[in-house]
Structure 1
Amino acid sequence: MKPIRSLLSIILLFTFGCSSENKDFEIENPTTEAIYFPPINSDTWETLSPLKLNWNTNALDELSLFLETSNTKSFIILHKGKIAFEQYFNGHTNTTPWYWASAGKTLTSTITGIAQDQGLLNINNKVSDYLGAGWTSTTLEKENLITCKNLLSMTSGLDDTLGDAVSSNDLQYIADANSRWAYHNVYVKLQDIVAQASNQTWTNYFNQNLKNKIGMTGTWIPVGDLSVYWSNTRSMARFGLMLSANGLWENTQIVSQFFIEDATNTSQNINEAYGYLWWLNGKSSFRLPQSQFEFSGKLIPNAPNDMYCALGKNDQKIYIVPSKDLVVIRMGDAADDTNFALSTFDNDLWEKINAVTN
């Protein structure tokens, strides 16, 4: 499989490497046909009429009402990169920043992939290769079992019941790495790894290698031991668009297609619905934060099977659907009860989206 993927990558780079104009841009590739990229130095963004897509405009009105009555602040649907639907509610605008919450984990995943592409790190290496021994409170033997990939896949084996802090005293052994899946803030150590490996601050590396290259706005805001990303909704859409284009932005490969494929497929054999900090739909079972219970069926039954998504507290959402050329963004307050990632809102929302697009 690897040689085939390598050949495809060479073909894509050869095809797209001929233009360097920094303006509205479309590319052709075997899976997505014409993908539109908005200019990186402007907030202009080409739109596409829902009528041209043969969408149900009556259902679009119902979707809008549903969003407004479920505490949504902003909502965007991209089709092949163009804005097919965009709405803002309750004084929120296309320039208002809002927090990504755990949807921002996918930023950390992507930056880790970029650093690996650049040869700065290898996700199969143990964390202590970069942070030194003693970054946890486990024995050295158990600590050395934990790799960067374990942080990406939530299989560190560290105790997730001790709170949100990630100092060494708070990172205690509960199981061997690779033997237990648990949603844990220890993933944030990947930011320290990237900073150490690149000899830069996390923010500088992030800005230079992702934010500035695709025209995002926003900033990392410290919250305890973590940093939460805040940006406008279109910046979240830019990030989703880049992922949907197999890591490309215009003629530049931001992160390798190889890493994206690994990140958006099952990363371990415990939680089928989890990649590298991405949630995956269409699997036969899934696990959720703060639980060791395995649920049968798809993560979001009403959503397409090939969808992968970033899910953040209080219903911050990035949905990417390759089969439909869709990127869907939702920011706002919790639609119902406060939640960590998945909520009943996901399934209800996709019922409304399906009524529009099917």
Structure 2
Amino acid sequence: MFKHLPLLFMLLISLPVPAENWPAEQWTPGPPISSPAREALEDYAFTSRDDATRKGIRTDALLVIRDGQLIYERYAGPTTADTPHLTWSISKSLMATVLGVAYGEGLFSLQDPAMKFYSALEKHPAVTLADLLHWASGLDWQEDYEYAPLNSSVVAMLYTRGRRDMAGFTAAQGEFSAPGRAFRYSSGDSNLLAAALKNIVGAQRYPDYPWTALFDPLGVRHAVWETDANGTFVASSYAYLTARDLARIGLLMQRDGRWGERQLLPRDWVAFNRQPFARYQAHQDDAVPGGHWWLNRAVDGAPKPWPDAPDDTFAALGHWGQALYVIPSEKLVIVRYGDDRDGTYQHNELLRRAMSAFASKVQP
């Protein structure tokens, strides 16, 4: 019964393998999508906002990549395809991606004490790099913005007492729990990672490292990343990328850290990014934290955060509606830039409409 297996094997390996689409200097355009579902997506994303009250949804850019091809793109206001847009906390996931390249170079392990690379953490010697990537340093922190500025650690770090040395300001905070025991979202943890990176790769490489390690290999041409007065990247907040450039980060992550023939990020690093923090409790945030990325996972019996998106959806998210959504099962990458001030915009609603318009079952 097995005598024909060699012939079958030869037939299988001789079948043509579909070519992968990778962007060169520009994205390759895919088949244009025109449908009522696309119009419904646009009706949601590009509704006019009352500029006097800043109520409603304001989308600055919406871009969709399917299977490595650009199939949808629209901009509004002053934002264009060439505009590096402020990403806010998407910067955190960008820093995690840059760190992944250094991890692949063998320069650190996840369980290394952060103090090994940033001595200002001497009062918190048990904090590991994995703890920082899980927003679980245990350092006392209040991530309030314009709603409670007087009590806000992040406002003080970015704009007042801590703005010259953001990592140093964070390291000086007290402790609210043992490291690795509790999730507490913290822009300070992200800036500690940026400070640690300086010693991980060395002071000489550090100023150019996001470009030489990540942006240049991907063809990202318009990235800007601010530093504090100490020359440390503001990993919490201040990276600027065009929507097309940010989509390259998404495609890298969708394809498990591979860019063309090069495994730029180790697969185990991407798996760590997409693994839920074990001690996260349901409803602590709007999505489930992984390794400095956000996941669409059910936790503690609670439903997944974005019920109309596939389980494997994960995202980099930023203040006022910035989002990079990655959906590996559908080979989709979605970039959304905006300026939402009142909570009207909902991730699940945009994902639901995007799935209806662009998922694989949808024919152009």
Fold shared per TM-score above 0.5: yes
Q: Mapping of 1:1-358 within 5 angstroms?
A: 34-39=19-24, 42=25, 44-50=26-32, 57-69=35-47, 70-132=57-119, 134-135=120-121, 138=123, 143-161=124-142, 163-164=153-154, 165=157, 166-168=167-169, 170-185=172-187, 186-199=189-202, 200=204, 202-216=206-220, 217-222=222-227, 226-227=234-235, 228-271=238-281, 273-285=288-300, 296-334=302-340, 336-337=341-342, 344-356=345-357, 357=359
Q: Aligned to 2:60, what secondary structure does the other structure show?
A: strand
Shift of 1:279: 0.5
Shift of 1:322: 1.0
Shift of 1:223: 6.5
Query: Residues of 1 paired with 2:252 and 2:333: CA distance?
Result: 10
Query: Residues of 2 paired with 1:223 and 1:80: CA distance?
Result: 38
Q: Aligned to 1:167, what secondary structure does the other structure show?
A: helix
One-letter amino acid of the structure 1 residue matched with residue 103 of structure 2:
Q
One-letter amino acid of the structure 1 residue matched with residue 83 of structure 2:
T
Query: Residues of 2 paired with 1:270 and 1:211: CA distance?
Result: 31
Shift of 1:171: 2.1
Shift of 1:208: 0.5
Per-residue Cα deviation, 1:49-82 (whole angstroms, up to 9, x for no partner): 145xxxx711111212222112111111111110
Corresponding pairs, count: 301
Per-residue Cα deviation, 1:161-212 (whole angstroms, up to 9, x for no partner): 2602242564211110111110012222111212112113533111100011
Shift of 1:104: 1.6
Query: Residues of 1 paired with 2:355 and 2:333: CA distance?
Result: 14
Query: Residues of 2 paired with 1:354 and 1:207: CA distance?
Result: 32
Query: Residues of 1 paired with 2:296 and 2:58: CA distance?
Result: 24
Shift of 1:110: 1.3
Asked if the contact 1:126–1:146 (Cα under 8 Å) also holds between the matched residues in 2, the reply is: yes
User: Identity of counterpart residues, as a percentage?
Assistant: 23
Q: Aligned to 2:289, what secondary structure does the other structure show?
A: coil
Per-residue Cα deviation, 1:262-294 (whole angstroms, up to 9, x for no partner): 111113322472111111103235xxxxxxxxx
Q: Aligned to 2:316, what secondary structure does the other structure show?
A: strand
Shift of 1:229: 0.4
Asked if the contact 1:279–1:310 (Cα under 8 Å) also holds between the matched residues in 2, the reply is: yes
Q: Aligned to 1:122, what secondary structure does the other structure show?
A: coil
Shift of 1:344: 4.9
1:11 is matched with none
Shift of 1:117: 1.2
Query: Residues of 1 paired with 2:330 and 2:68: CA distance?
Result: 12
Query: Residues of 2 paired with 1:354 and 1:323: CA distance?
Result: 11
Query: Residues of 2 paired with 1:106 and 1:205: CA distance?
Result: 16
Displaced runs of 4 or more, over 3 A = 200-203, 222-225
Asked if the contact 1:34–1:80 (Cα under 8 Å) also holds between the matched residues in 2, the reply is: no
Larger proportion of strand = 1
Shift of 1:258: 1.4
1:13 is matched with none
In our comparison, the structure showing a higher alpha carbon Rg is: 2
One-letter amino acid of the structure 2 residue matched with residue 345 of structure 1:
Q
- Cα distance, 1:298–1:146 mapped onto 2, change above 3 Å: same
In structure 1, stretches of 5+ residues that fail to align are 1-26, 286-294
Asked if the contact 2:281–2:299 (Cα under 8 Å) also holds between the matched residues in 1, the reply is: no
In structure 2, stretches of 5+ residues that fail to align are 1-15, 48-56, 143-151, 158-166, 283-287
